[in-house]
Amino acid sequence: MAQPLVKKDDDYDDEEEYSPFLGIEKGTVLQEARVFNDPQLDTRKCSQVITKLLYLLNQGETFTKVEATEVFFGVTKLFQSRDIELRRMVYLMIKELSPSSDDVIIVTSSLMKDMNSKNDMYRANAIRVLCRITDGTLLTQIERYLKQAIVDKNPVVASAALVSGIHLLQTNPEIVKRWSNEVQEAVQSRAPLVQFHALGLLHQIRQNDRLAVNKLVSSLTRGTARSPLAQCLLVRYASQVASESAANSQTGDRPLYDFLDSCLRHKSEMVILEAARAIAELNGVTSREVTPAITVLQLFLNSPKPVLRFAAIRTLNKVAMTHPMAVTNCNIDMESLISDQNRSIATLAITTLLKTGNESSVDRLMKQITNFMSDIADEFKIVVVDAIRSLCLKFPLKYRSLMNFLCNILREEGGFEYKKVIVDSIVILIRDIPEAKENGLLHLCEFIEDCEFTYLSTQILHFLGIEGPKASDPSKYIRYIYNRVHLENATVRACAVSTLAKFAVMVDSLKPRIYVLLRRCLFDSDDEVRDRATLYLKTLGADGSILENEKDAQEILFGSLDLPLGNLETSLKNYEPSEEPFDLDSVPKEIKSQPLAEKKGSGKKSNGLGAPPITHASSVDAYEKMLRSIEEFAGFGKLFKSSASLELTEAETEYAVNVVKHIFDRHVVFQYNCTNTITEQLLENVNVIVDASEAEEFSEVVSKPLKSLPYNSPGQTFVAFEKPDGVAAVGKFSNMLKFIVKEIDPSTGEAEDDGVEDEYQLEDVEVVAADYMLKVAVSNFRNAWESMGEDGERVDEYGLGPRGSLAEAVHAVIDLLGMQPCEGTEVVPSNLRSHTCLLSGIFIGNVRVLARLSFGLDASREVAMKLVVRSDDETVSDLIHEIISSG
């Protein structure tokens, strides 16, 4: 027998908690379900059995078709009972079983009878069940009853019909859209829930018609929604309309802002909060517009209700990301929330204060946070650490106290994710604040002495190998690194050996000492550690100097390997052992997506006849091999780059065409991949007529048509242009597909002799500056940057205008330049107002290019950018700046 449920409270912490469903089995419950067939129904027992069946279904238990059918027929017999509670359980059971269309017929008559019952509870539930289990055919039969139910005087029945309409809109939208008049009438209902559900359904019906939505919102904002829930919905819809509409160019007023502002004075707290959140999230909201919302939220910070304090501080936290100065008036109230019993509220208060505080308040905040950190869980600590990192980047002069705080909490108890966030933050501060390097590196060395996480230990050792040799006294880190060789697991020991070798290469004075330490590693118990030590010793030489004949090995082991690892792996797998050694120059340097992506599903668009394999590493080689096999292009030289395919036709059109741009030193070849999607036609003499009037530096030299293009058999036609040697010429090309159409005789499958000339307009193709840049990653950006020197450096600052976010500006510049982001700097945290992005690439002519972009976002959403470019050729550095200024 099932055990009674014992409520667990503070006085019974050690008591075991029992469930009334403990140990029930499907077979036993199905046996108990036979009670549904008893002549004299026991309503209480039947309800208990249905409850158990519902529990099994919600726990993921599956019934076979036979079992489900037997239970369904048994449940339908319970309609003879007049017990209201049992009837509600029957409705639930039928909804959960979701009977097949054949079985639905059996219960439909009973449900329709209940839908017209005088008992409102029967009516409401019957509507819900019918709409859940019926298909479109039966729905048309009961549509009249549903329309009547929507305007029913009983709010329970009306709400049931409206909620059912919301669900049905996903499967039978055409039927539900015919209810607009009744739903419009329900919006004026005095019942709060009816008005709420009616407004939600009416908006969903009109959501694809922007003009209709604007009209709906405008009409309702002139009145007053009686339901606070409906008013919250209206605020959301008004916010959407205001965000999509442009502000008045003369007065600067935003449409519907007055309505949102008036909702800040509503008698319902939920409406006030919804309006404040809506104003704060408006696109490009100004400090003047957001101030009334902040004033209202400040009042809620002192509310006795925890939910209001939480909602207010969470909204202020979001506002502080874009308008920190506007939130400073709330600082005193937020400081009082640091000691709030609700840790979520306290965490949000701390992080908001860190965003809004000034440089003079940092020390006071840090003292409060120190006592606060021990009382919260790791997930809240992570949020605080992220905020502290942002604060340190905002006030770099305060790095000492903030760095000490991070290092102190790093030694405290905590999980992996928490410790990882701290380590990542320290690494970022060391990288972006040079004065913090010595202190930060020493703290990281002390941390790995007791670090229990292998991943963190290896990451710190790797970082030490990059930054440690550049410190003022690199020798003080050797002891910490060598201790890892003796006191850690094999993975960390191997990483420590590599770090020691990096110090030997970069710091001449340490080479003899490290050479001795590496020799000791030859006796390690792990193969990986011994192999690494042997390799490094052979590379370093007996006296610790780099051997002349090991320069290549030294470059691979310690230098900046400007090769995508995936491409290197593929090339090594394809390498066939021979007398000729493996050539690193043969590895493709470009990180590419699939060159010709075949459309899924329709099967009408293809990547073209003889299209090269779509593996990343081999795509350029495959394209080059294909182009060299064509006599007209054989003399163009080495292929520099092939672009991703660009669609020139809309989906589901008669002819599918996409283009790939092949870039050579003096030529650009357009490869048009064509597919004929009409079964009754054969296309012959297919070619693309290209108008280069908007590309003055290009002149057409070769056009290679396609002789025949049968149905669904892809083919290719080419057009080649000559351009000035080594020049990044740009321009726009108009394209017209020309061909001869021949009808296919369906009886014989043969094409008619006579054809008709036809043409088909294609989209334009542009050759842009990014087409002349290869995306090439560097494993160590700082080393690559410093090794390039300042001779080819060019620096300038640019205003990028208003942007929705800092991330939008970063991605726009990356796309414009066509370079490869390094070290994950393309990811912009949402709470930062400044960001540095690192890019690398190879410009046509095999010129290496590195770029450091520093972005800043001000209170008016204007983005400024400082661009520093280094390259092997100063003219390329100038060209990168020209691309930005003209883009």
pTM above 0.75, yes or no: no
State the Cα–Cα distance between residues 666 and 726, nearest whole angstrom.
Answer: 7
* CA–CA distances in Å: residue 488 to residues 125, 221, 412, 418, 500: 66, 68, 20, 22, 15
Can you list the pairs that 403-409 forms with residues at least 24 positions away whose Cβ atoms lie under 8 Å?
403/429, 403/436, 403/439, 403/440, 403/443, 404/439, 405/366, 405/369, 405/370, 407/440, 407/443, 407/446, 407/447, 408/370, 409/373, 409/381, 409/385
Q: Which residues pair with 702 in a beta bridge?
A: 720
Distance of CA 267 to the CA centre of its chain: 39
* CA–CA distances in Å: residue 206 to residues 173, 177, 246: 11, 9, 21
Question: What stretch of H or E contains 418?
Answer: helix 416-432
What is the model's pLDDT at position 542? 56
Among candidates 638, 661, 519, which has minimal Cα distance to 585?
A: 638
Contacts of 566 (CB under 8 A, 6+ apart): 616, 617
B/e letters for 505-534, b = 16+ CB within 10 Å, e = fewer, are: bbbeebbebbbebbeebeebeeeebbebbe
Q: Is 332 exposed, middle or buried (0-12, 13-18, 19+ CB in 10 A)?
A: exposed
Q: What is the DSSP letter of 411?
A: T
Intra-chain end-to-end CA distance of the chain, in Å = 76
Q: What is the DSSP letter of 237?
A: H
* CA–CA distances in Å: residue 625 to residues 475, 547, 610, 619, 633: 52, 39, 11, 10, 11
Q: How many CA atoms lie within 13 A of 220 on its CB side?
A: 30
> In degrees, to the nearest 5, what angle opens at C-alpha 660 toward C-alphas 654 and 664?
150
Q: What is the DSSP letter of 639?
A: -
Number of DSSP helices (H) and strands (E) in the chain, helices first: 36, 17
> What string of H, E and C letters represents the secondary structure of 61-124?
CCCCHHHHHHHHHHHHHHHHCCCHHHHHHHHHHHHHHCCCHHHHHHHHHHHHHHHCCCCHHHHH
Q: Is 684 helix (H, G, I), strand (E, B) or coil?
A: strand
State the Cα–Cα distance between residues 313 and 344, nearest whole angstrom.
Answer: 10
Question: What stretch of H or E contains 611?
Answer: none
State the Cα–Cα distance between residues 563 and 590, nearest whole angstrom.
Answer: 8
The sign of the torsion formed by the CA atoms of 198, 203, 209, 212 equals positive
pLDDT block averages, 10 residues each, the chain of length 887: 42 54 84 88 90 88 85 86 87 78 71 82 85 77 86 90 89 86 88 90 87 86 80 89 62 73 89 90 83 91 91 89 84 85 86 79 76 76 82 80 84 85 88 84 86 87 86 88 84 90 85 87 88 84 53 57 70 78 70 37 36 43 79 85 87 84 91 86 90 89 88 87 84 91 80 84 89 83 80 87 84 89 80 82 89 84 88 87 82
The sign of the torsion formed by the CA atoms of 696, 698, 699, 702 equals negative
How many residues make up the chain in this entry?
A: 887
Query: Does residue 729 contact residue 767 with C-beta atoms inside 8 Å?
Result: yes
Q: How many CA atoms lie within 13 A of 244 on its CB side?
A: 10
Q: Report, in angstroms and rounded to the nearest whole number, the Rg of the chain calculated over CA atoms.
A: 35
Token pair 């020493």: residue: 442
Q: How many CA atoms lie within 13 A of 408 on its CB side?
A: 13
